Amino acid sequence: LLWLFFIFVANLSRWVIGIPFAWQEWRQRKRNEKALAKVEAGVLALVAGDFSQAEKLTYQAGSESSRSGALSYLAAARAAAFQGNELKRDEYLLKGKQEGDNPAAVALTHAELLEQAGDVEEATSVLALGFEEHPKNTNILKRYYDLLAQQQRWAQVVPLLAVLKKHHLLTQTQR
């Protein structure tokens, strides 16, 4: 009978000790669900053209949950760029880069937003660095090539041609 009491006490203490962990997991799951709902609402606001609301929601989602961090910050950067707020755009891009989920996506988004703002030189620099860090990323490679060709920087284009050809990224006329 004494051993039944010890088993009961052991199970009871394990259950009592487990409550904080279960509570913490439940809270984290709820926090992630709330952040995901904000990301969805923010992206829809971005697509609908409500850039202020999109920035607000996506930034909040990024700061509330690490699961959607990079995506949230990239959307917030895009919303800030549409509003002409370059400081906020750069702040969100930095936060997206710090999340570390997908540095290639951050580089591509950064370059695209710089190009839209008219800063083609800086966009080219971002893509050059992105290409150095991610030489197998064909989206970065193609975008980098396009910007170099647009600026007629042929000395920098020539070394890329072999890599572009290897990845089948050249059209018949470009070959």
Q: What was the pLDDT predicted at 173?
A: 66
| Residue ranges, the chain, pLDDT below 50 | none
State the alpha helices, DSSP H only, in 49-169: 51-64, 69-82, 86-99, 103-116, 120-133, 138-150, 154-166
Q: What was the pLDDT predicted at 24?
A: 77
Dihedral, CA of residue 164, residue 167, residue 172 and residue 175, to nearest 10: 40
d(CA 101, CA 82): 24
Q: What was the pLDDT predicted at 73?
A: 95
Single pTM value for the model = 0.80
Interval 89-117: pLDDT, tens: 999 999 999 987 789 999 999 999 999 99
Backbone CA torsion sign across 112, 117, 118, 123: negative
Q: What was the pLDDT predicted at 19?
A: 67
Q: What was the pLDDT predicted at 32?
A: 86
